[in-house]
Amino acid sequence: MIDVKNLTKRYGNFTAVRDVNFEVEKGEILGFLGPNAAGKTTTMRILTCFMPASEGTARVAGYDTFKDSLEVRRHVGYLPENAPLYLDMRVRAYLEFVAKIKDIPSRDRTKAVKRVIGLTALDDVHNKIIGHCSKGYRQRVGLAQALIHDPDVLILDEPTNGLDPKQINEVREVIKGLSGDHTIILSSHILPEVSKTCQRVLIINKGRIVAGDTPENLNARLSGSQEVSMQVRGPVKEVMAAIKQVDGVRDVKTKTSQADSLWQYDLDIEPGQDMRPALASTVVNNSWDLVELTTGGMSLEEIFLELTTQEEA
Amino acid sequence: MQGLLAIWGRELWAYFISPIFYAISTVFIFILSYMFADMLGQYTQYFMQAAQYPPMMERININEMIIRPLFNTMSFVAVLILMPMLTMRVFSEEKKSGTIELILTSPVKDWHVVLGKFLAAFTLYASMIALTLIYPLILQLYGDPDWGPIWTGYSGLLLMGGSIITIGLFISSLTENQIVAGVVCFGAALILWMLDFAASTFTGPVGEVIGYLSVLRHYNSFEKGILDTTDCLFFFSFIFFGLFITVRSLESTRWRA
């Protein structure tokens, strides 16, 4: 659905995006993750034909963003970082105006406006002046604006920016509900945001893609070694020895004893395999009590920090 | 086409919903009414003097004494003072609020956007000018003005206004600051205006070229009641050129943004 090749964008001497390549399949939700000024917005602006690339090509819904710009714009819904609203208009009038400039034929216009008002739950405010609406409603009007022509591709620049937690959840639900029929790209500098809504994440820093995978794989790939911690009730020394026998365990450390003979064991494990079943059966076979068994993967937040700091060095 | 009409409609709506139109037309009509009343007073005084001295009667002409000076004032007030206020917001406001991103990522051609905005400002200007029809109508009630020069005067006013609108649009497309757009537009209109005076200080071909570029000189023949193709062509090409550079400037926002 989206095919980006060797995309580069320069502003004078400053290169905002350099040699970016990626593809997005139909129905996929892709997240752009990166600090401010990483090149997320620039990439999105190129995909929506707001500006052309300096080098490279981008194809959206089968059309080239430079050569068939009008066709691309017909197939893309775009919510910029600041929702593009005319604050003096009423919600419904604004959506009708957008429907007109998005080339929706007059017979379908009322239906289209009604549909997005329902989809983004704007029934309460459809007759209000946008300037009088709360930030959450404004953002939803922005989302409605991007959806009005039922585009194949949705590009959302920080869709939950500046909303309160309840509103964030609402917007997130709307976005999730759209996946399947729509191909979605959304950007954020907030990690849980991306890992909760996206099927695939591209981490962008200083104009380059530094990593791209599913949130789970990113976790697995980047946590050089995995950690498992367990709480076992039993004799410390014997438990230690038994655990060390299990294949793939590199090291075991014990922590404080919590109560009588309940100890916590922190294990360092070779990456790429799930050791939990083997560990559990070892404990149980020795008829000790297994109280807790958890894996501590690296959170996206840590990956993000790691990646960006590594690049900087 | 639908996009062009939508932008025209929204833009016009924005003028009428905000106080812009009402403030500007009130100021405009207030100034003009004062001038009209003043000129009417002078005219009646002159008329009474002439009644005692018949040869003076022949020189009395209502068009020359009231309508032409009125058109002079109108062109000055409308074009130099009100036009920058009408056009300064057109693109600057959209750039500032970010709605330009909506417009430029919608399937509307750039020149449709520019033409839609131009037509909206022009419609507004024309409706402001239409308010001034009250003065010739008053004269018609009590006298016998010649309507020929009145209609050509209005055509000239519309053409010249259209030309200055395109300058305003162009300047507004360059900046997101409305005040800057307004001031620069005023300066540009004033310079075009003053070219007429500049032309008289130069002699020969230089003076002729400068004189040809002066909007005032071309407007003057309309005011006199002359419909000259040279003047029409001047204004039409002016409007076309103004719209063209505005489209180009809008395109360049994409490259520079």
Q: Which strands, in side-by-side order, build the sheet including A55-60? A: A14-24, A2-11, A55-60, A63-64
User: Number of CB pairs < 8 Å for A and B?
Assistant: 77
Nearest residue of chain A to residue B18 (CA atoms)? A88
Tell me, what amino acid is at B13?
A: W
Residue A43 has pLDDT above 80, yes or no: yes
Decide which of A294 and B245 is more confident: B245
The token duo for A28 is 């996929």
Q: Does ipTM surpass 0.90 in this model?
A: no
- The C-alpha atoms of residue B83 and residue B123 are separated, in whole angstroms, by 13
Interface test with A, best of B1, B90, B100, B101 (most A CBs within 10 A): B101
The total number of residues shown for chain A amounts to: 313
**Nearest Cα to Cα of residue B78 among B39, B114, B127:** B127
For residues B250 and B91, is the Cβ–Cβ distance under 8 A?
yes
Tell me, what amino acid is at B12?
A: L
Residue A311 has pLDDT above 70, yes or no: no
Q: What is the mean pLDDT of residues B97-116?
A: 93
For residues B109 and B54, is the Cβ–Cβ distance under 8 A?
no
Q: What is the mean pLDDT of residues A167-174?
A: 82
- The C-alpha atoms of residue A171 and residue A159 are separated, in whole angstroms, by 8
Q: What is the mean pLDDT of residues B23-52?
A: 88
The token duo for B133 is 């029809």
Q: Which of A210-224, B7-21, B121-135 shows the lowest per-residue confidence on average (mean pLDDT)?
A: A210-224
Q: What is the per-residue pLDDT across A246-293, written as a single tens digit (0 to 9) for each?
A: 877 777 877 766 666 788 888 877 766 677 788 888 888 888 888 888
SS (H, E, C) A232-244: EECCHHHHHHHHH
Q: What is the pTM of this model?
A: 0.81
Judged by DSSP in three states, B41 sits in helix
Average pLDDT of every residue of chain B: 88
User: Which range among A194-203, A304-313, B131-140 has the greatest average pLDDT?
Assistant: B131-140
Residue among A51, A71, A86 whose CB faces B99 most closely = A86
Check CB contact under 8 Å for A84 and B102: yes
Dihedral sign for Cα B103, B105, B111, B112, please.
Answer: negative
CA R_g for chain A: 25
Residues of A in contact with B6 (CB under 8 A): 97, 100-101
Q: What is the per-residue pLDDT across A193-227, written as a single tens digit (0 to 9) for each?
A: 777 788 888 888 888 887 787 877 766 665 555 67
CA distance B169 to chain A (A): 19
Residue A76 has pLDDT above 90, yes or no: yes
Tell me, what amino acid is at A105?
A: P
Residue B117 has pLDDT above 90, yes or no: yes
